[in-house]
Amino acid sequence: MAKITLVDDDENIVASVSLALESHGHTVKAYYDGAAGLEGLESDPPDLAILDVKMPRMDGMEVLRRLRQTSATPVIILTSKDEEIDEILGFNLGADDYIHKPFSQRLLIERVKAVLRRAGADAADRSSAAGPANSAAAAARAIRRGKLTLDPERHDCLWEDRPVKLTVTEFLLLQALAQRPGFVKSRDNLMDAAYEDQVYVDDRTIDSHIKRMRKKFRQVDPEFDAIETLYGVGYRYRET
């Protein structure tokens, strides 16, 4: 099962969440402030991180911002229901999902399962492509669309041969768009591609992921415009 790092200053939440995750076979390492959590995430990278927003020494958003400079570790953000800005900021910083407090243990387990499934499928693809016998097949499966090269087997994304570091969710969204340039993908289509059978994810979640993805590409190419928005309809990858 997965190795999970939990960072939250509320001892009751840490105790209950740890118990729920461990009952499903996961190993949990807990930290009670952001600075200690970031140090733990960097020194002993987990399969998944769960970060509270409001914590002493360093808040969850700053932990996420610093983590994303070096790591694509899947991250779930814990946020209060009345703090919508936390969701938007979290997705813009590269969070893979969020959970509103208070939350049920069932919801938590389902969200964790969904994020780990996406990350695990990606890792399995990369593993299956390892070795010279599979290198030609992996190259053949790579998606090439003009300046974009997207290799699902290795989770590699290149724009004009320059790497663009995407989270698991961002990669799945881009893959869904790039597979059929010129064809419109509704937000519902993109939710299905990135979240499979996960509980409901609203439109704003997809919009935030797309915004974050565009920002990453524009750091490599300020003229990047390959992902088009069709207002009221969805998104499409521009035909080259």
- Tens of pLDDT along the chain (240 residues)? 899 999 999 999 999 999 999 999 999 999 999 999 999 999 999 999 999 998 988 999 999 999 988 888 999 999 875 656 666 777 778 888 888 888 888 888 888 988 888 776 544 444 444 444 444 444 447 889 989 998 887 778 999 999 898 887 888 899 999 988 999 998 888 887 776 555 555 667 788 889 889 999 999 999 999 999 998 889 999 876
* Tokens representing residue 168 in the block: 């698991």
* Beta pairing class for 75-80 and 97-101: parallel
Report the C-alpha gap between 180 and 141 in whole angstroms. Answer: 14
Give the pLDDT score at 240: 67
Give the pLDDT score at 96: 85
Report the C-alpha gap between 53 and 90 in whole angstroms. Answer: 9
Give the pLDDT score at 115: 86
Element (H, E) at 141: helix 132-141
Which residues is 49 bridged to in the sheet?
A: 5, 75
Report the C-alpha gap between 56 and 54 in whole angstroms. Answer: 7
Give the pLDDT score at 197: 52
Give the pLDDT score at 222: 94
Contact 119, 125 (CB under 8 A): no
Taking the model in full, what pTM does it have? 0.61
Report the C-alpha gap between 38 and 29 in whole angstroms. Answer: 12
Contact 75, 47 (CB under 8 A): no
Domains and CATH numbers, the chain: 3-121 (3.40.50.2300), 132-237 (1.10.10.10)
